[in-house]
Structure 1
Amino acid sequence: MQKLSTAASLFYAVAVAALATAVIVGGEAAVVEQTFVVHEMNVTHLCNTTKIYVVNGQLPGPTVDVMEGDTVVVHVINRLPHGLTIHWHGVRQMRSCWADGAGFVTECPIPPGGQHTYRFNVTGQVGTLWWHAHVTCLRSTINGAFIIRPRDRKYPFPTPAKDVPIIIGEWWELDLLELDRRMLDGNFDDNPLSATINGKLGDLSNCSGTVEESFILDVKRGESYLLRVINTALFSEYYFKVAGHTFTVVGADGNYLTPYKTDIVTVAPGEAIDVLMVADAPPANYHMIALANQPPEPDLQIPELNSRGLVRYAGAAANNGGLPVAMPVMPNQHNTMPSYYFHANLTGLARPERHRVPMHVDERLFITLGLGSICRAGNTTTCKRGRSPETIVVATMNNVSFHHSNATALLERYYDGTSEGVYTEDFPVRPPRTYNFTNRDLIPPGPLEAALEPTSKATRLRRFKYNTSVEIVFQSTTLLQSDSNPMHLHGYDVFVLAQGLGNFNPKRDVNKFNYHNPQLRNTVQVPRGGWAAVRFLTDNPGMWYLHCHFEFHIIMGMATAFIVEDGPTPETSLPPPPSEFKRCGTNGLSQP
């Protein structure tokens, strides 16, 4: 494929922007239409020119900006040598599962040279979501903000002078397709070279004396700014601070929160956190920092990842009056407790007329999250463990590592009634054995992990009847590592009833459940060495992917899918595929 020059990329951006339209329907809801051209582009950072994959020549990609109740239409033209889908992360997709964009779950990828149109409504959601590629590691650079504004233009907090996406990501020099292949083989020794803020590495990174460009936020003293903080990174949760300033957290994942004051935001991969920042400091320049956290040893260590931007006041001297630019004091990168306290302190903005926690539970699942291993030699289970060359490290839920199809879409097979041999509906509701899930002696060099790490690789799903109340307790484990786990459920928001450290104890911990004003989230950060309890009602029929949002966990199998059956009426049932939907046999990918 011919590589696009910067000029060609800019041409695409301008031409595509001209195609974006908003057709008003009855003076209220609109049809918001955009075109995404996905292509390669060469970018130079840290003295090296790297081929990356982008939309419309932009990194991050274009923002989708709509009002509650609008219909979104996005035409995706794939000019990559690789298939991909676009997932609208956090959009409920009520009765539009066909447009969810989960590769090989709801659709087969758009093939090279192909195109596809996504069409869906955004109803009952206000705030910040995002979109990203959902095949392989491409979401590292193919991503952008998805903003839903209130139709009455009223917020339950002071209206900001401006709102600004703050998209935290990572800069990789390794080709993302090669990164995917390596992680699929159980190799997660590769690391990004830097963190990014809105695609810029920041002046902490330099090469041969050339300082990288920083993201700059221009502000006026006395005005407030809504920062829409999104973590698109493949590997890490991030701490975010601005020197001399505090935040008021007002929303997350397209839902309002009870205002919460803090000087630090922690945002895990997949999460979107809305914060108000008042420019109330003396006019000057102030640094912002995004710093990745990670578990301490004996977990495998990655280089310290951070990026630095700048808040620049109107009227401030160009040289900051000769004074050093203020730096925020950041937590230690191995201290994960600020994340735990940040997430535990968030509560939902009570709206009983719209959001009621189901008080009864029809089905309960207890899901352990960790790593395991399978033997390289076919179906044998008798191989040497302990990260030996005879095994492949995999990620698991209840000791099952999800086998991802690469030739068919699970939703199609479910809808057509042709699932035999493709998947089973026996995802376990609890782990096969009980042990001390947070015992640090399970982290290599152990010595207890070898007996627990053998696992299976299979496509095992769970089916629910329509309108079932489901409670899930996610338990992070220390099996082979002690990472946190940002769990994302497509098609749903879930009530986060509680979280805690250590092993979940139902006799003790149920008393901590918040039924009055819990957070309503699509991505739940299950703390390192801890647990999180969620509850939701299966009111959206279809096939919905559930996975950890660390990319290496997804690729290695920390995933499953939930089938939600049709309800009793057409209005509560999954409709047939829309006319623009391309079945797997018609988009260049054959069914097995």
Structure 2
Amino acid sequence: MAAKAMAASFFLCVALAAALAATASVGEAAVVEHTFVVHEMNVTHLCNTTKIYVVNGQLPGPALDVTDGDTVVVHIVNRLEHGLTIHWHGVRQIRSCWADGAGFVTECPIPPGGEHTYRFNVTGQVGTLWWHAHVTCLRATINGAIIIRPKDGKYPFPTPAKDLPIIIGEWWQLDLIELDRRMADGNFDDNPLSATINGKLGDLSNCSGVPEESFVLDVERGKSYLLRIINTALFSEYYFKVAGHTFTVVGADGNYLTPFETDMITVAPGETIDVLMTANAPPAHYHMIALANQPPEPDPQIPVFISRGLVRYAGVRGDNNGLPVPVPLMPSQHNTMPSYYFHGNLTGLAYPERHRVPMHVDERFFITLGLGSLCRGGKKVCKRRRSNETIVVATMNNVSFHHPTTTSLLERYYDGTGKGVYTEDFPEKPPHPYNYTNRDLIPPGPLEEALEPTFKATKLRRFKYNTSVEIVFQSTALLQSDSNPMHLHGYDFFVLAQGLGNFNPKRDVKKFNYHNPQLRNTVQVPRTGWAAVRFVTDNPGMWYLHCHFEFHIVMGMATAFIVEDGPTPETSLPPPPPEFKRCGANGLTRP
């Protein structure tokens, strides 16, 4: 009992320290300081007590509430038996690549019992981003919102009565460290038990007839609410609806969007979507639903992941005045087209001059996203088609990324000691053209057998400062026809267009939106389709590019971009800050 009281007292002190962080009046920058204590905690759901990993005893973790222009300082205390880093997902990290928090890319993990301080500015971004662990699968429970408010306190839409994160995630009974180990061995048969909304499984999940707790949003009729929807799931894109209500989409990934009306949101892992919801329905209770989608067979099938919450109007009795609670009508779990149309409806809101699309292109990439296989035991020849003789890996242009386990790519690049650790020849196109979206490439085959052999390598790509880069991502049907949410650290990119089937430059370039494209850090590349993005390399450092499905990351769907220094100190990466700990000091390797 004393230990629990001590822990409660400690976390109260942490919360008070966060609440007393330095603040400033509207228009003035502030220093926002937090302490994150990462630790284990036992939680009981579905008649089982599970060990999970959390920050400050919270699931989801504490939100960072900042204003555009603020400096953020977060002290991490690692009380786990495993190393970890914290990534500030979507924060541009201008000239602060050392604080990006990508494990073994920009830093080695904070060792068990260790501490580390992250310090960075949040500048030129407004809306919703998020933070999460970036070593192994720990981000399933170590995550939280980053809320960035405008300097003048004004939005380009009606000011809501209240805003709050709606964090969609998953509940795993399997230990997350073990899950990572299994996925690294090519096993992606493990699944979570349920979806979650703000850490709650919802009353559709039950054990021995006892429903799980649901997330509840209390509203007052006539008022509007800004819902900051974040997908932290390891596995799935989600559909989100509230019965009897519609949404106005106003932002995504820390950037404003042209408002548009819809009754359903789709949000892929890594994405954030900001929506206004007006409580204009007859006063009552209404269910909200988060439902995971997935491709149909012959793709490997997963269970239905769903969580149900409640919108509760003020003044309504607890039994909903004796009436049934409306439930939204959801799409089929296997219908991925609503995602395609939703993402296709997003456009940017009147970007200022500095956000104009670069009309010239210095370097073009066509990157295929799929799966492949390696022979086990280092053999040259083996039976393919998902046999026991192979390990399934994920690839980009038929290269499966080999993640370092003892060193940081940024350190090696900065010190000039990258030789033997990585090469700078990530391919700009796949080695062999084929019909990338042919559904017959999905097992049981046999068409995929000739295409699936691949290899592991740490292949990067180097760019000069201020290079205009265009990437066309092509999802494939090789072994599995997933969509792919591709996330680039350190940058926002313009999403110029998306399409279904194989990208055809003669036809599809005509669809590019140069006028008001959405500006994102994560692009959902549609199932057996493509997406085109463009950005300028104006932020020097080492920047991780990867799919945000965790099993795709672990299995190798990743690379990193080196961006060289510009011509001035203001366009160059500074030396590591005093709080940065080099890898050799810890001697930590991947758990």
What TM-score range do you get, normalising by the shorter chain? over 0.9
Matching residue of 1:534: 533
After TM superposition, give the deviation of residue 326 of structure 1 in Å: 0.3
Contact 2:374 2:392 in 1 (8 A): yes
Matching residue of 2:15: 17
Letter in 2 for 1:164: L
After TM superposition, give the deviation of residue 403 of structure 1 in Å: 0.3
Inter-partner Cα distance in structure 2 for 1:61 and 1:588: 28
Q: 317-326 or 389-398, which moves further after superposition?
A: 317-326
Q: 352-361 or 187-196, which moves further after superposition?
A: 352-361
Partner-residue secondary structure (3-state), 1:377: helix
Matching residue of 2:580: 581
Letter in 2 for 1:547: H
- The reply on whether 1:479 has 2:478 as its aligned counterpart is yes
Inter-partner Cα distance in structure 2 for 1:384 and 1:260: 51
Partner-residue secondary structure (3-state), 1:414: helix
Alignment deviations for residues 109-147 of structure 1 (CA, whole Å, 9 cap, x no partner): 000000000000000000000000000000000000001
Alignment of 1:27-106 (within 5 A): 28-106=28-106
Matching residue of 2:306: 306
**CA 1:8–1:482 in 2, change beyond 3 Å: closer, same or farther?**
farther
Inter-partner Cα distance in structure 2 for 1:5 and 1:327: 43
- The reply on whether 1:266 has 2:277 as its aligned counterpart is no
Partner-residue secondary structure (3-state), 1:19: helix
- The reply on whether 1:187 has 2:196 as its aligned counterpart is no
Contact 1:12 1:57 in 2 (8 A): no
Inter-partner Cα distance in structure 2 for 1:81 and 1:247: 43
Partner-residue secondary structure (3-state), 2:445: coil
Contact 1:10 1:56 in 2 (8 A): no
After TM superposition, give the deviation of residue 353 of structure 1 in Å: 2.4
Alignment deviations for residues 430-453 of structure 1 (CA, whole Å, 9 cap, x no partner): 000000000000000122000000
- The reply on whether 1:451 has 2:454 as its aligned counterpart is no
Contact 1:397 1:559 in 2 (8 A): yes
Contact 1:9 1:56 in 2 (8 A): no
Letter in 2 for 1:495: F
After TM superposition, give the deviation of residue 572 of structure 1 in Å: 0.2
The share of aligned pairs that are identical, in percent, is 83
Alignment deviations for residues 396-454 of structure 1 (CA, whole Å, 9 cap, x no partner): 00000000011000000000000011000000000000000000000001220000000
Letter in 1 for 2:494: F
- The reply on whether 1:122 has 2:114 as its aligned counterpart is no
Contact 2:405 2:589 in 1 (8 A): no
Contact 2:463 2:564 in 1 (8 A): yes
After TM superposition, give the deviation of residue 11 of structure 1 in Å: 3.3
Matching residue of 2:112: 112
Matching residue of 2:517: 518
Inter-partner Cα distance in structure 1 for 2:389 and 2:130: 40
After TM superposition, give the deviation of residue 6 of structure 1 in Å: 6.0
Inter-partner Cα distance in structure 2 for 1:105 and 1:393: 23
Inter-partner Cα distance in structure 2 for 1:363 and 1:348: 24
Alignment of 1:551-562 (within 5 A): 551-562=550-561
Q: 11-20 or 159-168, which moves further after superposition?
A: 11-20
Matching residue of 1:429: 428
After TM superposition, give the deviation of residue 13 of structure 1 in Å: 2.6
- The reply on whether 1:400 has 2:403 as its aligned counterpart is no
Matching residue of 1:373: 373
Inter-partner Cα distance in structure 2 for 1:549 and 1:11: 36
**Gapped regions of structure 2 (runs ≥ 5):** none
Letter in 2 for 1:544: W
Matching residue of 1:351: 351
State the TM-score, normalized to the length of structure 2: 0.98
Inter-partner Cα distance in structure 1 for 2:191 and 2:327: 26
- The reply on whether 1:246 has 2:246 as its aligned counterpart is yes
Inter-partner Cα distance in structure 2 for 1:9 and 1:176: 24
Letter in 1 for 2:13: A
Alignment deviations for residues 226-276 of structure 1 (CA, whole Å, 9 cap, x no partner): 000000000000000000000000000000000010000000000000000
Alignment deviations for residues 350-398 of structure 1 (CA, whole Å, 9 cap, x no partner): 12323100000000000000000011121x3311101111110000000
Alignment deviations for residues 192-216 of structure 1 (CA, whole Å, 9 cap, x no partner): 0000000000000000011100000
Partner-residue secondary structure (3-state), 2:16: helix
State the TM-score, normalized to the length of structure 1: 0.98
Matching residue of 1:279: 279
**Gapped regions of structure 1 (runs ≥ 5):** none
Letter in 1 for 2:136: T
Matching residue of 1:150: 150
Contact 1:12 1:37 in 2 (8 A): no
After TM superposition, give the deviation of residue 164 of structure 1 in Å: 1.0
After TM superposition, give the deviation of residue 588 of structure 1 in Å: 4.0
Inter-partner Cα distance in structure 1 for 2:217 and 2:116: 35
Contact 1:478 1:529 in 2 (8 A): yes
Inter-partner Cα distance in structure 1 for 2:114 and 2:531: 41
After TM superposition, give the deviation of residue 5 of structure 1 in Å: 7.1
Letter in 2 for 1:78: N
Matching residue of 2:364: 364
Contact 2:95 2:541 in 1 (8 A): yes
| Aligned residue-pair number | 588
Letter in 2 for 1:348: G
Contact 1:290 1:306 in 2 (8 A): yes
After TM superposition, give the deviation of residue 7 of structure 1 in Å: 5.1
- The reply on whether 1:506 has 2:505 as its aligned counterpart is yes
Partner-residue secondary structure (3-state), 1:80: coil
**CA 1:153–1:472 in 2, change beyond 3 Å: closer, same or farther?**
same
Alignment deviations for residues 170-197 of structure 1 (CA, whole Å, 9 cap, x no partner): 0000000000000000000100000000
Matching residue of 1:317: 317
Inter-partner Cα distance in structure 2 for 1:239 and 1:577: 41
Letter in 1 for 2:511: K
Inter-partner Cα distance in structure 2 for 1:69 and 1:286: 38
Q: 317-326 or 471-480, which moves further after superposition?
A: 317-326
Contact 1:363 1:471 in 2 (8 A): yes
Matching residue of 1:390: 389
After TM superposition, give the deviation of residue 222 of structure 1 in Å: 0.2
After TM superposition, give the deviation of residue 24 of structure 1 in Å: 4.4
After TM superposition, give the deviation of residue 459 of structure 1 in Å: 0.3
Inter-partner Cα distance in structure 2 for 1:219 and 1:501: 40
Inter-partner Cα distance in structure 2 for 1:446 and 1:157: 51
